[in-house]
Structures are given as structure tokens and as C-alpha cells.
Structure 1
């Protein structure tokens, strides 16, 4: 796979690789500081960029964008990747000279991040794993080579050095068990395993389609006879179980996916088995 994913909304002449730092905390819950000010975000961005360049020197030829904030993974795993689209847009707004690369840190000013869409959603916090997104941007050929090396080398071991992991923990006021780099597809694979372990594998099929194939339709039938059908960026849910409807609305809503209850008979096409 040459490029992990493309961030929408950016210059078509440039390619983008979406990735993140996954931080495993010693305890679940909201971090004392979910977002960093510009100065602290800049310090962490420089340290992360150097960590990556040390392992893959070609990354130094690319623009590197980091949001100095921690998120629940559901806020990252949303259709059309809105966090990354905003990061790519912020990068494209910078003045640049030919051949010049940037390390861009997006931090708070007056307690707020530069775009409201980048604000962490505190109601989602609860997992011991938090994520800090980063984006590489540059010529497609360089991005392709870097993506291959990330997949083959860095993402296999991926662990960030203890000193840098400690710095991340101190910046956000958390105790970290470990921290590692991941691509968004790595995160998808991890989320898939988590959903399947929780008995929600069918729900993940819907989320995965919305993330990776948003223009496609998919239907799944559940063991209790309920049905889910994803189309037109919306999940149509057919069930007589109001508690299940509320649960699925909460889970899919965290991923930015709307759930609409329908009566028996379903949408025109009708749900099918996955």
C-alpha cells in the first residue's frame, strides 16, 4: 500500500499520509489537559518530527503537521476524516517557498484551538488509549516511499522512545504506559479487534464502510433479527429494541454517523446480510 490514506480538502498536487501517536495511559479517563498551547505543541511537534526523521530520513523532505491535543479514537475515526482534512487545510494556508518544508504545530490560543472541529470532545473520554494525530504532506513519490517504510519498519515496532513518551505524558498531565506511532489503517485494525471482542463486529462493518468506502452501501443482520443498513452517510436501523437503538446511536454518533430508526420493511433496497 503506497499511501495509507488521503486527507480530503487539500491541494490535489500533494499527497498526504495520515497517522497518529497512540498513547496508552496507566488509567482511563479524561486527561488533565486535553489540548496544549502553541508553545508546548510546538515543542512536542519538533520532538516527534525528529523522532521520525531519525528513523526515516526522507520524512525531513515533507511537511509534518501535529495537533497538540489528545482525542478518543472515535473522534479520529469519522467519515471523511475531518480532523485530518482540517490539518491539511491549515497547512495549505501557510505561505511557502518552493522546496521548503514545515513542521506545523496546532495549539491553543486563549484556551481554544484554531478550528472548532479540532477541539477534543470530553464526553468521549473513557478509554485508557488516547490518540494525537499527525499528518505528512508532500510530493506523491516521496509520500509513497515513506508510507512503505512506515508500514514495513516503523509501524512494526513503532514504540516511541521512553524520554519522548515521558514528555508527552508530562505535557498532558497523564501517566503513560507506552506510546507508539500508528497509521490510521493500523488504528482501524485495532478498533476492529476491539469491536469484535465486545461482540460488536457487525457494527464495526458499518463504521469501516463509512470510513473507507463512504459512497458504498452495506447491510448487516443481527442475531436478534435487527438490521442495520448504511447508505447516503446514514445508518437506517430496524429493530423493536429501543435500548439497542439508543446504544447504537451513541456508539455510531461518537464516530460522526447518524442513525435513523425505521419501521419493519426497511429502506427501499432492504437490508442484506453481510
Structure 2
């Protein structure tokens, strides 16, 4: 039997946000957003917002409205599939056992400081802001929502300033000092972020974010000026990680003069970290694989689905760090000396630790490079090297040359020599 869809009775939804711009001079840059409002306060705030939306958008009585009395960072709203606003719509539709649609105003508050529904519970991360968002969602028959959506996109950002009563209520209820407070749609948020990224020469990042948020079917490939490679397909953004040696020998740095390899790898790492962290912060899954010569050669001539297939054949990197083993002696002698070179970029900090270990006779046992794969990786590496030295009873020395130390002829990282070292300590930083 065929199912006939009737747009006049189907329910749909359309979301927006109340955007609060905080006064940066009077706000703690490392502070956390306030806790969710209690039920009574959230209900009072909902009344203010409903009046403003009626004034701005016109006749909204035939539509239901649900809002949550909590504030969120932009990264909690703009995520693949926009799960928070979908959760609001689902909560509205599940609030009435009757199959007949009845418009109502629903305000979600919590007397416990959090929501039991994980999808709408704010993360309240330190450093959120200076833009905080309160989401709301209209629910109604599909035709009515389609008409409302057009109006919201046309006028909400330009004419969405709240009343003075609402402004004062928001400031008092959340105990915040606010510069501006107004309504916007999710499309408005996306457009504003695109302008911000474009002004900072990060438009390729916007393409990857947009692909993930709107769950586009086509494959999106981005190659940055330093040679960073990203390809978005379905729920994943695939990318390559290069160690310094691989980057300089067969990767994006292979054609650079040897004297510029240090600064070049710093630029590549800076872009790689920025894009990876931003994508993950906005909920886009990044699948990182370790580059190798055959894969790099394949990707140079492959596009779209063929490139994705080649990347999916390689297991993704997992864990907090990567150890690149350059040399390992088959000797069973224990390590008596562990020499650690802090390979550092002045802007980014430590990019890797080069570790050489010697036996009692001063013979080389191991040469390794330890790379952090995420912000936590650096501490994990440090703790492991300390534990390794303690277990072996080895003397540990850390060298800080203040730059990347590498062989220009071998195009590879090397351990620091005495002439390279600005600081010698027994501590890892």
C-alpha cells in the first residue's frame, strides 16, 4: 500500500537562537557559562521571548515553541545534523500523548543544575564565549513552518533585537553583563562564522565544516598551501599525518630547500593542528592516518571516491602519541643513558621528542622520535619517558636547543649536540 504524504498535516520544525554577546572587559575569559535556569525562571524567560518573537515575526499563535533555559557555546549548536535543535523538536512532539497537534509554549528548566537528557545538557566549558546562545525551536504543520522559515531568514537577524524588558530579564536571570542580545537563525550563525573564517584566510576550513554540519553526500577535498590534505566523505574527514622525516623526504616538504625544512614543517604542523582541533571542536570526526610513500603517490593521482578508498585501507592513528623508531640495536643490554632532545617550534611549542639511549659502554641502543597526536599526548610522552628511565635505572638528560634540530643532508630529525643546546636540564617541559 502506498503512503500518501500530506504537507498540511505533517509536523516540521525550524530553529533559531537568542545570541548574547558578553562584555569581554567584564567577563572572565576562562569562566564557564552559568548553570541552566530553574523551571520557574525558564518559564518566565520563555514568556518574554515569545512576546518578542510575535512582535518581530508576526502571527505565530498556530505554531508551538520550545526553548531551553540554558546557554551554549557556538560549537554546541553548530554540529553535524544539528542534534540539539532536533532534540528540542523531539521533546516538543513527545510532550503530548494526543495525536492532534496543539500549539503550546514549552520552557525547559532544571532545578538540579543540569538536564537529564544528554542531547540538551550544556557542556559549560571554561573559556566559552564571548558569544553564548540560547536555542529555541518552532514546531508546526509543514506548510506553516516553511512560511515561517522564509520570514525568519529574511528579517530575524536584521530586526531581531529584543525588547528592553527582555534584555534586562536575560541579564538578571543569568547574572551576566551583556553588550548585545538579539535573535538569529542557524543559517545566520553559519554565515557569520563563514565571514569570520574567510577574513582570517580559513575559507577551506569553512568548506569542511559546512560539509559535516549539513551531512552532504558529495566528497569535498581540501589541500592547503603548506600541503595539508583533508578529504570529507559522509561522517568523516580523512587526513594525513607526517612525521618530520616523512614530510621532508616524500611528503609536502620534499621539494623545499634543506635550510627551510624547520620553518616549513612548523607551518604544516600549525595548519594541521588548527584544522584538526577546529573540526573536532565542532563535532566533525577526523580520521587521521599515517602517511607512507605508496599512499602519498596514490593520492597524488586519485580523486574523490578512489582517494577515500585508499585512505580507508590504512588503519587510523589512535592513542595520544606516535613513536617513530629510526634505529634499534638487537643487543639485550639495558639502557644506562637516555638523551632527550626537545624538538620545538617557537610558536607551537614541542613538536616531538627525539630520544637516544646508550648502554654502559656508550653504544647506541635506540633512536626514536615521539610525536604527540593531541594536546594530552605531550604529558603522556613525558610520563612514559620518566617511567622508562626509572625502570631501567638510566640517567636521563634533556636538551633544549630552542628549535627543530635536523640533518640537512639526511632531511631527518637528529639528536641535539652540545653546540645546538641553549639549555640543558634533567627535566621534561
Backbone CA RMSD of aligned residues: 2.2
TM-score by length of 2: 0.57
- Structure 1 CA distance, aligned partners of 2:234 and 2:215? 11
How much does 1:197 deviate?
2.3
User: Are positions 1:79 and 2:91 aligned together?
Assistant: no
Partner of 1:59: 60
How much does 1:114 deviate?
3.4
Higher relative contact order (CA 8 A, sep 6+): 1
- Structure 1 CA distance, aligned partners of 2:44 and 2:116? 17
Q: Which of 175, 183, 186 lines up with 1:184 in the alignment? A: 186
Question: Going by fraction, where is strand more abundant, 1 or 2?
Answer: 2
- Structure 2 CA distance, aligned partners of 1:73 and 1:185? 13
How much does 1:47 deviate?
1.1
How much does 1:179 deviate?
0.9
Secondary structure at the counterpart of residue 136 of structure 2: strand
- 1:135-171 residue CA offsets vs partner (Å, 9 max, x unmatched): 0010122112222222333332211123212211221
Cα contact 2:20–2:131 (8 A) shared by 1: yes
How much does 1:71 deviate?
0.9
How much does 1:101 deviate?
0.9
Q: Which of 12, 15, 20 lines up with 2:17 in the alignment? A: 20
Partner of 2:4: none
- Structure 1 CA distance, aligned partners of 2:285 and 2:57? 40
Partner of 1:247: 274
- Residues 1-274 of structure 1: matches in 2 within 5 Å? 13-27=10-24, 29=29, 30-31=31-32, 33-95=34-96, 98=100, 100-123=102-125, 125-240=127-242, 241-262=268-289, 263=291, 264-265=295-296, 266=299, 269-270=306-307
- Structure 2 CA distance, aligned partners of 1:112 and 1:153? 33
How much does 1:31 deviate?
4.9
- Structure 1 CA distance, aligned partners of 2:156 and 2:271? 40
- Structure 1 CA distance, aligned partners of 2:70 and 2:112? 15
Decide whether aligned partners of structure 1 residues 235 and 143 sit closer, same or farther in structure 2, where only a CA change above 3 A counts: same
- Structure 2 CA distance, aligned partners of 1:213 and 1:95? 30
Secondary structure at the counterpart of residue 169 of structure 1: helix
Cα contact 1:24–1:178 (8 A) shared by 2: yes
- Structure 2 CA distance, aligned partners of 1:103 and 1:216? 39
Secondary structure at the counterpart of residue 113 of structure 2: coil
Decide whether aligned partners of structure 1 residues 96 and 45 sit closer, same or farther in structure 2, where only a CA change above 3 A counts: farther
Which piece of structure 1 moves more, 156-165 or 257-266?
257-266
Cα contact 2:153–2:187 (8 A) shared by 1: no
Decide whether aligned partners of structure 1 residues 135 and 16 sit closer, same or farther in structure 2, where only a CA change above 3 A counts: same
Structure 1 gaps of 5+ residues are: 1-11
Structure 2 gaps of 5+ residues are: 1-8, 243-267, 309-429
Secondary structure at the counterpart of residue 125 of structure 2: helix
- Structure 1 CA distance, aligned partners of 2:128 and 2:157? 25
- Structure 2 CA distance, aligned partners of 1:47 and 1:57? 15
How much does 1:66 deviate?
0.5
Cα contact 2:228–2:240 (8 A) shared by 1: yes
TM-score by length of 1: 0.86
Secondary structure at the counterpart of residue 122 of structure 1: coil
Partner of 1:5: none
How much does 1:67 deviate?
1.1
- Structure 1 CA distance, aligned partners of 2:277 and 2:156? 34
Secondary structure at the counterpart of residue 54 of structure 1: helix
How much does 1:250 deviate?
2.1
- 1:72-120 residue CA offsets vs partner (Å, 9 max, x unmatched): 1111000011101111111111116545211111111322213112122
How much does 1:56 deviate?
2.8
- Structure 1 CA distance, aligned partners of 2:220 and 2:89? 29
Secondary structure at the counterpart of residue 179 of structure 1: strand
Decide whether aligned partners of structure 1 residues 120 and 82 sit closer, same or farther in structure 2, where only a CA change above 3 A counts: same
